[in-house]
Structure 1
């Protein structure tokens, strides 16, 4: 069975899984913070620390994956299947939390499992897609995360309105059930492809044949260092904004419906961007393409500093449109283009670890800003890291151009 186009059953089910892996398991937390605070207590600084615990779990998961794959190179599908099912169950379990410590343990487990699932689902899906369309396929898969945000936002009247104290619990339980169903669908379509392609892949069972020193690829300034750095600072910047945007709107007295619509606007714009961004990186596979989206996203974050609801909402939609899904999908695609096939899962896992470290740092920095200067400043501080991320992406694009020019001279 040969490679497929970007739009196929595997990428479709992967996208549905990403509704849970990104939109539900990770980013719904920021949306549900006001409801969680009313129900089980805690300050926004303490609840922000639970966000950090989630990303500590995410970091641990990404660091565990490379040795796990090395130890069981033929069990990637089985590991992903188990991880995805457990993620759905952990979502359901978190809905029954009665205090912050208990919720923190669930958030750690969800972060750990979502990290494994993120890398494995992308790696398995990209193996099935023709190289020329892998950017578009990546966009379709990451689009699922935006769909998850859209659905989470639409639940706002039920999950963060004071009249529905337990609403966030029911929402997380339903999200977990959806995750189990999506994991089952993805397992079915990928097992069918494996059965059809097992004979053609029999010769690829030589793990020592193409051993690559991954660190030389990722940490060399002439290779991928600036791309990895950009991914780190993006993780810090976007998670600060997503953690404190809704609490800020609620503190302003914005009705739950309007706050939910702003959140859904990010998701709806991100769904559009997921497809367009994937095609853009296929056509212009450059750090400059990534830097453009991040720069506009930085401006979008600054919309919150105006204190005006219209400009805050416009900034949120701008982030969804050009710089929420764009950095992960473009980083995924650029890595796929510039690392050997056998090293891709390990490289993506390490890159995701840096992304996770940024997400781990973000809520801590944002929480300090909230404590010292209020929710508006805390949410807006994400623009600092987004701007640094854009600058590093631009430097990566410059290195790409120099390398391409040098290769042309050497070939002439």
Structure 2
């Protein structure tokens, strides 16, 4: 995980100038999350080989989202029982195991179960990782804390780039019908590399190893209804784009080279832009930050509907990729600034649950629409519209209470 040096976090939770953080730490978690996102590269081949409908292909991603929802609900209790670091590292191991097991699987039920388990483990890693990163920013300015969150999330771009470089050549050589198994294996092997640094990275954060009694008792969820609603809609729209945009590119005759370039551009945009978003988000109050990022994501999601071939597709990857991971940074920054440190974990878990609920419904809804109403273009249009609506709702989120003491 990326962030400041451990020594930089050992300070009282009082406002005031903070010393500059040390060098950023590597983040194993986003590489694993990107392996889940890269399922969009493999779904067309799985659908062809296993004779699935668009709705069944969407159900596979919905199963992963259902597991993510379940994981978000149990993470606060799990983190309190075994500690943030143990939950982070244990979840990383579980994600790698499920990816390895997916490669030889064939049955629809077995693949659904594996995607559920991967979602549970992924949520455990994501939430504890974000919680640990939020602790890294404790005592720093809002801008510095948002940048730390942005750098952590931007690590997902690295996983997307690696996936885009590794998977399309495999599909090109072995063919989509046989190559999807090798693709899952490649993703698993890439994720294994992250295990070498997971424990070390978690140890760099000077946060309490186990939640204190009453720490995860609750948080003022009513104050965050706009954030919860907009994040749910983002989950609906974003996962639909990720799931079906590759299918649209393939259907419009773009080969593996263009698809791989699309994925690499999306990942590189995430790496380069999300930390920059952190600086801007640290200066915005309330829901203004999430609304701005969501508006950009909506524009990027709509671009493939314009046609224009590979140039427009790559522009979509640039715009969408440059902003979609920043939504996570923006929403987390809102909670971090408005709540005391003891409530960061439960708040992140609840927001993640709302996002995961959207992910559960998104692929199935857009898959059904794609089956019944004009193909994947209809599903992608719905995706862009939902994200645009999320941007409008986010504007209703109020900023932090001026009387609250930071951290």
Say if 2:42 and 2:183, in contact at 8 Å, map to a contact too.
no
For the pair 1:376 / 2:377, whether they are aligned, the reply is yes
Q: Quote the residue 2:84 is aligned against.
A: 76
TM-score by length of 1: 0.86
What is the distance in 2 between the residues matched to 1:239 and 1:335?
23
Q: Which moved more, 1:291-300 or 1:47-56?
A: 291-300
Instruction: Choose the corresponding residue for 2:165, options 148, 154, 163.
Output: 154
Matched residue of 1:388: which SS?
helix
Instruction: List runs of 5+ in structure 1 lacking aligned partners.
Output: 408-412
Q: Which moved more, 1:282-291 or 1:159-168?
A: 159-168
Say if 2:88 and 2:202, in contact at 8 Å, map to a contact too.
no
What is the distance in 2 between the residues matched to 1:189 and 1:393?
33
Given the superposition, is the C-alpha separation of residues 269 and 213 from structure 1 closer, same or farther in structure 2, using an over 3 Å criterion?
same
Q: Quote the residue 1:34 is aligned against.
A: 44
Q: Which moved more, 1:139-148 or 1:304-313?
A: 304-313
Q: Quote the residue 1:180 is aligned against.
A: 192
Q: Quote the residue 1:53 is aligned against.
A: 63
Listed one character per residue, the Cα deviations across residues 299-327 of structure 1 (whole Å, up to 9, x for unaligned) are 222212222223333223211123x1111
Q: Quote the residue 2:213 is aligned against.
A: 207
What is the distance in 1 between the residues matched to 2:213 and 2:160?
39
Given the superposition, is the C-alpha separation of residues 344 and 172 from structure 1 closer, same or farther in structure 2, using an over 3 Å criterion?
same
Q: Quote the residue 1:2 is aligned against.
A: 7
Given the superposition, is the C-alpha separation of residues 13 and 121 from structure 1 closer, same or farther in structure 2, using an over 3 Å criterion?
same
For the pair 1:23 / 2:34, whether they are aligned, the reply is yes
**Cα RMSD after superposing both structures:** 2.6
Listed one character per residue, the Cα deviations across residues 267-306 of structure 1 (whole Å, up to 9, x for unaligned) are 1111112111112122324421221221122122221222
Say if 2:79 and 2:211, in contact at 8 Å, map to a contact too.
no
Q: Quote the residue 1:168 is aligned against.
A: 180
Say if 1:56 and 1:360, in contact at 8 Å, map to a contact too.
yes
Q: Structure 1 residue 161: deviation in Å?
A: 3.0
Say if 2:136 and 2:148, in contact at 8 Å, map to a contact too.
no
Q: Structure 1 residue 7: deviation in Å?
A: 6.6
Instruction: List runs of 5+ in structure 2 lacking aligned partners.
Output: 1-5, 10-18
What is the distance in 1 between the residues matched to 2:180 and 2:26?
26
Bigger helix fraction: 1
Q: Quote the residue 1:410 is aligned against.
A: none
Say if 1:270 and 1:321, in contact at 8 Å, map to a contact too.
yes
Count of aligned pairs between the two proteins: 384
Listed one character per residue, the Cα deviations across residues 366-395 of structure 1 (whole Å, up to 9, x for unaligned) are 012101121111122101110111001112
Q: Structure 1 residue 62: deviation in Å?
A: 0.6
**Residue pairs, 1:94-109, within 5 angstroms:** 94-109=102-117
What is the distance in 2 between the residues matched to 1:146 and 1:76?
24
What is the distance in 2 between the residues matched to 1:51 and 1:150?
20
Say if 1:88 and 1:178, in contact at 8 Å, map to a contact too.
no
Q: Quote the residue 2:13 is aligned against.
A: none
Listed one character per residue, the Cα deviations across residues 214-244 of structure 1 (whole Å, up to 9, x for unaligned) are 2xx22x2xx2211121111111111111111
Say if 2:92 and 2:198, in contact at 8 Å, map to a contact too.
no
Listed one character per residue, the Cα deviations across residues 6-57 of structure 1 (whole Å, up to 9, x for unaligned) are 8756x5332x32111x211x21111111222233332222111111111111
TM-score by length of 2: 0.87
Say if 1:6 and 1:136, in contact at 8 Å, map to a contact too.
no
What is the distance in 2 between the residues matched to 1:37 and 1:144?
29
Given the superposition, is the C-alpha separation of residues 331 and 38 from structure 1 closer, same or farther in structure 2, using an over 3 Å criterion?
same
Say if 1:240 and 1:382, in contact at 8 Å, map to a contact too.
yes
Q: Quote the residue 1:137 is aligned against.
A: 148
**Residue pairs, 1:151-300, within 5 angstroms:** 151-161=162-172, 163-164=174-175, 165-191=177-203, 193=204, 206-208=212-214, 213-214=218-219, 217-218=220-221, 220=222, 223-300=223-300
What is the distance in 2 between the residues matched to 1:368 and 1:205?
43
Matched residue of 1:42: which SS?
coil
Given the superposition, is the C-alpha separation of residues 233 and 392 from structure 1 closer, same or farther in structure 2, using an over 3 Å criterion?
same
